[in-house]
Amino acid sequence: MKSGKSGDPEVAASEDQLMSQTKETAIQFFKDQYGLEIEVTGQKKMPSYVADEIDVEGYVKGHKDQTFNISVNYKTFETKNFVMSPELKAVIEANKKK
C-alpha cells in the first residue's frame, strides 16, 4: 500500500483516479498555456480540511532545470499557485516575446 492512502480499496482507487486526473490537468495546462511538454515527478494531496488540492511538481521534458510546482483543485480541476524556477520563467518570458 502506498503511503498516505486509505486501506479501503475503493478509496484508494478513487485517490489513484484523482492523482491521474490532476496529473493530466497539469500536463494540459502547460501544453495549452505555454506549448511545453512536461514530466510530472511528484504529487501530494493536501488534507481536505486544508484545501481540495493536489500539488503537482515536475520539469519541462529535456530540461530538468526548468522545474515547476502547481496546485490542481481535484473538484474543479482548476490550476493555481503556479511556482516556477528562474530557468523556466526565462523560457516562458522568451516565448511570450515571439
Task: CATH number of the domain at 31, please.
Answer: 3.10.450.130
pTM: 0.83
Contacts of 7 (CB under 8 A, 6+ apart): 1
Provide the pLDDT for residue 86: 97
Question: Is residue 3, in this structure, part of any structural domain at all?
Answer: no
Residue 36: inside a domain, yes or no?
yes
Asked whether residue 14 is assigned to any structural domain, the reply reads yes
At residue 88, the pLDDT reads: 97
Task: Check residue 14 and give its pLDDT.
Answer: 87
Question: Domain range spanning residue 43?
Answer: 9-96
What's the Rg (C-alpha) of the chain? 15
Q: What is the mean pLDDT of each run of 10 residues along the chain (98 residues)?
A: 53 85 96 96 92 96 98 94 96 85
